[in-house]
A and B are shown apart, each in its own frame.
Chain A
Amino acid sequence: MISPLEARYYRRRVPLLWWARRRSYLTFMLRELSSVFVALFVAELLFLVGAVAAGPSAYARFLDTMANPAMIVLNVIALAFLLMHAVTFANLTPRAMVVRVRGRKVPSRAVLAGVYLGWLVVTVFLAWLVVS
């Protein structure tokens, strides 16, 4: 048997820009990148909670920072990535999850519809929570 050190010469090397060679690889890498923006939104939410807890002046300062044009542009980009993340994640659900009702396999379209319906319900509930 050859040693692992020698084995690497027989292994095909992966080019640095492998993800740029195929559309599907590129979308995959963008999807992986979107997790950074998910983290950004989480951080912003935590800062918001912190500012609300710290009092009205801190909250005003937080709003000021967020109204900065650069922040708005960043957040719009982040939102686009987030939507991509959420939509692709939702679209993959039927493949990861086999749903059965009374022993019958639910068609993947129905599973998908359920996922989007659940998303809609949560969104409406949150919107209602924020508005009222």
Chain B
Amino acid sequence: MTLLELFSVPFMQRALIAAFLVGIAAPAVGTYIVQRRLALMGDGIGHVAVTGVAIGLWTQTSPTWTAVIVAIAGAVVIEVVRERGHAEGDVALAMLFYGGLAGGVFVTGLAGTGASRLQEFLFGSILTISVDDLLVTMALAVVLILICVGLSPQLFAVSQDADYAKVAGLPVRFYSILVAVLAALSVVIAMRTVGLLLVSALMVVPVAIVQQLTRSFRMTLLGAMGAGLAASVGGLVLAAALSRTGANVQPGPSIVLVALAGFFLVWPLGAWLRRRRALVAPFPETLPEEKPVDEGEYLQTPAELADFKQFSMCINCMLCYAACPVYALDSRFVGPAAIALAQRYNLDSRDEGDRQRLTILAQPDGVWDCTFVGECSTACPKGVDPAGAIQQAKLAAAQEAVKSLLLPWRSR
């Protein structure tokens, strides 16, 4: 039986699909967890989820769903205990972990199913995954990936610097708990693939691999998803290949070992890159180029002037703010005139700060608060059309966001 024939067997195809999705979803969540310096959180949730699996086995219901419920509850408790930041926090967490593990083994014993059934979940048994389990895994993985990529600005802000995120007006607590819940879900979908005891590896190791090479957060996220995919599919293929020689290697451990091998393969390249970057680190990569003084002033064609002239006519009368119902209802909104002024510089051919400005404008209380009532432009005595400026800034910000998502290496 060749390797290709092996993958024409239905259970191998199911295993391949599961490995594919878990390989993408687990590192996506892992990126945020590593960023928050909670690399072992997945491990903790995995321990707690053992109890969930055991309850499922005991009550003869689907272990997947009981594991989802218990893992989410455990993740929220871990997050709350961590947030309190008491000195005994780590002791409380350790008690939760071992309580979860011991409780799981104990309840399995009550169920009388024996340790072999539980072992499927502890070390993974991707080959016995059923069609129903696969569908649940697929649905959860897709949701996870969508949230991790779609909410990446918010989740990154909260994971990187919670205080800054709070000042920027983000509900930090909500997003912290969301990350914990995402971690719980990824533990559950990964438990059939690599097992509850190794689940953290698939969340952390791909991120560790990629972090040696990347500097931007977005590249880390996408790269970790790629590395996780390579490790999980590669580990499955390795286990399948070894099984032809008569060995009985489970895919879970081989996936983790492939990921670790990837880490050590990338190590020299990472060390070289770090040394190279250290040489240029103190200097920004590109400084705005200024002309020598004797070359004269910055000239513009009439067409270039016409691009922004209209928006430069503002006299700060604030009539647009008086006309804006959005500003009246939510005074944190930056408002029409300020955004029109920002757009005036964005459109100026002599200006190079549009990227920085768009980053600020796209934040909460920026352009996206505007619902295009249009009354600011009606009220403007100078014909500035702030409403139009805001929509143009929205369009530019959206284009920039899509561009940086599709071509992350082009932006930083």
Contacts and interface: CB of A to CB of B under 8 A. Distances in A.
Interface of A: 11-12, 14, 18-19, 22, 24-25, 28, 32, 92, 95-98, 103-105
Contact of A12 (B328, B374, B387): B328
Interface string B300-329: 000100110000000000000000010011
A96 B325 contact: no
Nearest to B389: A95
B372 A92 contact: yes
A96 B378 CA distance: 16
Interface string B351-378: 0000000000000000000011111001
Given A12-B328, A96-B388, A24 B395 contact: no
Contacts of A103: 303
Contacts of B378: 24
Contacts of A32: 371
Nearest to A97: B395
B402 to A, nearest CB: 15
A24 B328 contact: no
**A-B complex: 4 closest residue pairs judged by Cβ atoms:** A96-B391, A95-B388, A28-B373, A14-B328
Contacts of B325: 14, 18-19, 25, 28
Given A11-B331, A97-B395, A24 B385 contact: no
A24 B329 contact: no
Contact of A95 (B328, B371, B387): B387
Given A14-B329, A24-B378, A95-B388, 18 more contacts: A11-B331, A14-B328, A18-B328, A22-B375, A24-B375, A25-B373, A28-B325, A28-B371, A28-B375, A32-B371, A92-B374, A95-B387, A95-B392, A96-B392, A96-B395, A97-B395, A98-B392, A105-B307
Contact of A28 (B374, B385, B392, B394): B374
Interface in B379-412: 385, 387-388, 391-392, 394-395
7 contacts: A18-B325, A25-B325, A28-B373, A95-B387, A96-B392, A103-B303, A105-B307
Contact of A24 (B306, B373, B388, B391): B373
A25 B392 contact: no
Contacts of A19: 325
A22 B322 CA distance: 14
Contacts of A24: 373-375, 378
A31 to B, nearest CB: 9
- Counting chain B residues whose Cβ lies within 8 A of the other chain, the interface size class is 20 to 34
A18 B328 CA distance: 10
A7 to B, nearest CB: 8
A25 B372 contact: no
B375 A95 contact: no
Contacts of B385: 95
A98 B385 CA distance: 13
Contacts of B375: 22, 24-25, 28
B391 A92 contact: yes
A104 B302 CA distance: 12
A39 to B, nearest CB: 17
Question: Which of B325, B375, B387, B394 has most chain A Cβ within 10 Å?
Answer: B325
A24 B329 CA distance: 17
B400 to A, nearest CB: 15
A1 to B, nearest CB: 15
Interface string B327-349: 01101000000000000000000
B392 A97 contact: yes
B266 to A, nearest CB: 44
A92 B388 CA distance: 9
A95 to B, nearest CB: 4
A90 B295 CA distance: 46
Nearest to B322: A12
Nearest to A18: B325
A122 B388 CA distance: 27
Nearest to B371: A32
B259 to A, nearest CB: 40
